[in-house]
């Protein structure tokens, strides 16, 4: 059974002064998430956050089905298995980091005697040991984001729903969060996250879904996507025994004819390397296709 299943999800909103304009935000979105790291990418306005809000039962979809561990997302028991980090969370700056963690621990009924050990573990994970008694207003934006991430883990969730978890983080902070995500995956947790930092999605995700214009264009492993979208090949060759290397870039269709010619002419083929398109290149190609 999949950890998270989204099937034919549809959602429309009314816009305009008299709310006469109907806009389709989601047009039959479908995907499933196993115990893996699953990236969810698309341009602004593609439907990423709307999908996440529907998964978290913050909005009611017009149609379709959502299942988390085989149950509807609004089921109370499901809430205790899920950790959620919203895109634009708000925290009171006047409270301390520890008080914020206490608030979240209260929600899940975590006993007081367990909290000190738990907080230390979480703060160590996100690199915030020693600042938990300072007011949050004294934290940098990146520190606040890491505190929010720590709070997301407080109930040891089996599924994490993360909307832009790298937002506001410097390279060190991104590295910390990426390391935690990998550790969670290694422990068998399911991580579903959206991000506009495509490089993070590419290096962290087992599989990815690309959503454009409210429609999921594809779902596949990152390895398969990058392999499928090979732009061509770079062939390196030289004269037998020679030191000078020559290179030539060719399309996939011309590769074998070039290799055959080089073999016949007596060249030594040193390397044939694919020119792989990045996940960002693939996303941009779908965006351009949607706009054309």
Q: Where are the domains of the chain?
A: 4-226, 230-276
pLDDT tens, per residue, the chain with 292 residues: 799 999 999 999 887 777 777 889 999 999 999 999 999 999 888 999 999 999 999 999 999 999 999 999 999 889 899 999 998 888 889 999 999 999 999 999 999 999 999 999 999 999 999 999 999 999 998 999 999 999 999 999 999 999 999 888 888 899 999 999 999 999 999 999 998 888 889 889 999 999 999 999 999 998 888 777 777 889 999 988 778 899 999 887 888 899 999 988 988 888 888 777 788 888 888 887 777 6
Residue found under tokens 């969670």: 184
Find the largest Cα–Cα distance for the chain. Answer: 78
What residues form DSSP beta bridges with 10?
A: 27, 63
Supply φ then ψ for residue 169, to 5 degrees: -90, 140
Q: Is 68 exposed, middle or buried (0-12, 13-18, 19+ CB in 10 A)?
A: buried
- The pLDDT of residue 17 is 72
| pTM recorded for the entire structure | 0.83
Sequence-distant (6+) residues with CB within 8 A of 190 are 3, 4, 33, 34, 35, 36, 38, 158, 159, 160
How distant is the alpha carbon of residue 196 from its chain centre? 9
Tell whether domain 4-226 is in CATH 3.40.50.300: yes
Sign of the Cα pseudo-torsion (167, 173, 179, 180, in order):
negative
Query: How many other CB atoms are there within 10 angstroms of residue 234's CB atom?
Result: 13
CATH of domain 230-276: 3.30.1490
Distances (CA, A) of 135 to 91, 142, 165, 182, 219: 11, 15, 22, 30, 42
Distance CA 165, CA 197 (A): 10
- Distances in Å between the Cα of 59 and the Cα atoms of 12, 19, 63 are 11, 18, 12
């Amino acid at each position: 059974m999949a950890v998270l299943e989204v099937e034919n999800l549809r959602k429309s909103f009314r816009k305009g002064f008299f709310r006469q304009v109907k806009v389709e935000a989601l047009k039959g979105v479908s995907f499933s998430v196993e115990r893996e790291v699953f990236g969810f990418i698309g341009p602004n306005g593609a439907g990423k956050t709307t999908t996440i809000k529907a998964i978290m039962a913050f909005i009611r979809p017009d149609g379709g089905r959502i299942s988390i561990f085989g149950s509807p997302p609004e089921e109370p028991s499901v809430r205790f298995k899920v950790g959620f980090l919203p895109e634009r969370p708000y925290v009171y700056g006047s409270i301390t980091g520890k008080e914020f963690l206490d608030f979240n621990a209260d929600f899940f009924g975590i006993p007081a005697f367990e909290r000190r050990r738990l907080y230390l573990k979480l703060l160590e994970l996100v690199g915030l040991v020693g600042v938990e008694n300072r007011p949050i207003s004294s934290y940098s934006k990146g520190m606040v984001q890491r505190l929010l991430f720590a709070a997301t883990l407080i109930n040891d969730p089996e599924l994490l729903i993360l909307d832009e978890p790298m937002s506001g983080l410097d390279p060190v902070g991104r590295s910390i969060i990426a390391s935690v995500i990998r550790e969670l995956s290694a422990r068998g947790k399911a991580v579903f996250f959206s991000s506009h930092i495509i490089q993070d999605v590419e290096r962290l995700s087992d599989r990815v879904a690309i959503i454009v214009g409210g429609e999921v264009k594809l779902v596949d492993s990152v390895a398969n996507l990058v392999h499928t979208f090979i732009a061509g090949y770079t062939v390196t060759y030289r004269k037998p025994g020679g030191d000078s290397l020559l290179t030539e870039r060719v399309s996939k269709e011309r590769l074998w004819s070039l290799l055959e010619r080089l073999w016949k002419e007596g060249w030594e083929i040193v390397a044939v390397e694919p020119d792989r398109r990045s996940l960002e290149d693939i996303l941009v190609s779908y965006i351009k296709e949607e706009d054309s």
